[in-house]
Amino acid sequence: MCLFDYHRFDQQLLHTIAYDALVWSSLHGLVVGDNSSQGSGSVPGVGLVHAPFALLPTPFPQNQWRQASELAPIFNELVDRVSLDAAFLQHALSRTKEADEFTSRLLDIHSKMLKINKKEEIRLGLHRSDYMLDEKTNSLLQIELNTIASSFAGLSNLVTELHRYILSRHGKLLGLDSKSIGANDAVNQNAEALAKAWSEYNNPRAVIMIVVQAEERNMDGQEISVIYFRAGYTPVDYPSESAEVLARTKTPLKRSLDGAREHTVVMVDLDPRVEWKARLLMEQSSAVKCPSISYHLVGTKKIQQELAKPGVLERFLENKNDIAKLRKCFAGLWSLDDSSIVTKAIQKPELFVMKPQREGGGNNIYGDDVRETLQKLLKSGSQEEAAAYILMQRIFPTISAAVLMRNGCWSKDHAISELGIFGTYLRNKDKVIINKPSGYLMRTKMSSSDEGGVASGFAVLDSLYLT
């Protein structure tokens, strides 16, 4: 019998563990705002519910955990190098710009910064590179690299602690050892990087500002001196651009930055594009941005696909070993210009994922919809529309027996997991102050679900049981 066949445990035992886990979650702040509760997200301490989590940790090979961790500093350095190559970014995204309004706005800010020759001397990256283990080839393949709002450092850290607690209580009965759970210090590492960036900025009176979403459901935001973008990665974060959205939005973004005085000001403004103006103002300011507009652009799916083309990594990195390590984790990535791949994807859509230039979950296209969308694009003959997407090899991870906890209830499900490795990077001019892996996020979802976000409701938080 497999040690990790969690479905073999009887109802009573699972019930007891679930009860313990729920008590632990409430006591240790493993909670998020509860959408269904009034006042949640606006009144602190009101309407909280435990974050969705896997009741027991998911097995993961130690070797591949190490491999993923070793990639973090290389990706950090790559992001920094690519961010400095403005011509590469502008060129690689030039066609996406025509097709996608959101990317176009980001590129406009990037162009404006080039025009005024804006230099970011202190550069802070809090990234997260996501991977799945492809079952057939047993290889670690990258899903995407996040350079903005790389979320869940705090909660994922707590889930690791929760699983340790559960195994220290019930481990003997389950045949599992709490010491085998992968260490996770993500939240402290992120905080340390923010604090060090603040310290490099070298003005004790300056604060760190966190840009959050309206009715924020994460409960761990604190205003502090560097600008950290918890929001700003999706069009919804810029609501006043659309009159229709504006009509529905009670509170348009109320924050802006007065760059000259280095503090936040409250501003209620119905000016269309007020959020884009705020974003521009922040980019123009001398604050350290996490991320800068260039770092943000490097994290787009189009750039991921461009970097996977033969010879492109060599443009940014010298170390052949590092290049080989990165390339090994690249899945197949293509633009829709590649007609042979488009034909293949129409024939076998189940082997591909089609991705628009969006972040935050729920945007990708799978299965028969891939075929339909590609056929429609071919029919319309619009090169422009096609440039809004990339195609990616679909990765099929091993399916495991999981117990998923949502809203106080548990269910036995067949699940697959995605491992995110956080990477922190800080440099001031030529001096690299931090460049290291900094904890992980394990997400587990029902194997029947295509998408994977926790906030978007598809996945639950999990930890690693190293094998």
Ligand X SMILES: Nc1ncnc2c1ncn2[C@@H]1O[C@H](COP(=O)(O)OP(=O)(O)O)[C@@H](O)[C@H]1O
What is the spatial distance between Cα 122 and Cα 133, in angstroms, rounded to a whole number? Answer: 35
Min separation Cβ 276 and Mg ion, Å: 24
Distance of CA 112 to the CA centre of its chain: 26
Helix (H) or strand (E) holding 289: strand 289-290
Residue 202 marked ligand-binding: no
Residues 4-33 that bind ligand X (CB under 6 A): none
Question: In whole angstroms, what is the distance from residue 389 CA to residue 406 CA?
Answer: 33
**Length of the chain, please?**
467
Cis ω for the linkage preceding 356 (within 30 of 0): no
To the query of whether residue 443 is one of the catalytic residues in this protein, the response is: yes
Q: Which does 359 bind (CB under 5 to 8 A by kind): ligand X, Mg ion, none?
A: ligand X
**Beta strands in 79-204, from DSSP E residues, in sequence order:** 122-134, 139-146
**Which residue, 154 or 452, is less far from ligand X as judged by CB?**
452
Separation CA 192–CA 311 (nearest Å): 35
User: Would you say 57 or 360 has its CB closer to ligand X?
Assistant: 360
Is position 50 an interface residue for ligand X (rule: CB under 6 A)?
A: no
Q: Is 328 annotated as a binding residue?
A: no
- Is 360 known to sit in a ligand binding site? yes
Task: Kindly write out the interface string for residues 173-212 of this chain, putting x where it contacts ligand X by CB under 6 A and - elsewhere.
Answer: ----------------------------------------
The distance of closest approach from Cβ of residue 144 to Mg ion in the complex, given in angstroms and rounded to an integer, is: 5
CA–CA distance, 152 with 191 (Å, rounded to integer): 13
If one counts every other C-beta atom within 10 angstroms of the C-beta of residue 444, the result is 26
String of contacts with ligand X for each residue 384-423, x by CB under 6 A: --------xxxx----------------------x-----
348 is in an annotated binding site: no
For the window 322-341, what string marks contact with ligand X as x by the rule CB under 6 A?
---------x----------
| Binding status of residue 42 toward ligand X by CB under 6 A | no
Q: What's the distance, CA 318 to chain centroid?
A: 27
Of 40, 129, 146, 428, which is the active-site residue? Answer: 146
The answer to whether 360 is a known catalytic residue is yes
Among 85, 398, 451, 457, binds ligand X (CB under 6 A): 451
Q: Are the C-beta atoms of 109 and 279 separated by less than 8 Å?
A: yes
Both tokens of 268, joined, read 């209620």
CA 286/CA 260 separation, integer angstroms = 8
Residue 395 known to bind ligand: yes
Helix (H) and strand (E) counts in the chain: 16, 20
Among 299, 359, 417, 427, the active-site one is 359
What is the C-alpha to C-alpha distance for residues 171 and 303, in angstroms, rounded to an integer? 44
Catalytic residue among 151, 190, 294, 400: 151
CA distance to 264, 275, 304, 367, 396, per residue, from 448 (Å):
44, 37, 26, 12, 11
394 is in an annotated binding site: yes
Binding test (CB under 6 A) with ligand X, winner from 42, 104, 284, 363? 363
The yes-or-no answer on residue 355 being catalytic is yes
Name the segment binding ligand X (CB under 6 A); options: 205-213, 312-320, 358-366, 422-430: 358-366
301 catalytic per annotation = yes
What's the burial of 224, exposed, middle or buried (CB within 10 Å: 0-12/13-18/19+)? middle
**Alpha carbons 25 and 245: distance in angstroms, whole number:** 35
Residues with catalytic function: 128, 144, 146, 151, 301, 355, 359-360, 443
Give me the residues that bind ligand X (CB under 6 A), please: 130, 143-144, 331, 353, 355, 359-361, 363-364, 392-395, 418, 451-453
Residues making up the annotated binding site for ATP are 144, 301, 355-364, 366, 392-395, 418, 445, 451
Residues making up the annotated binding site for Mg(2+) are 144, 146, 359
Residues making up the annotated binding site are 128, 144, 146, 301, 355-364, 366, 392-395, 418, 443, 445, 451
Give me the residues that bind Mg ion (CB under 5 A), please: 144
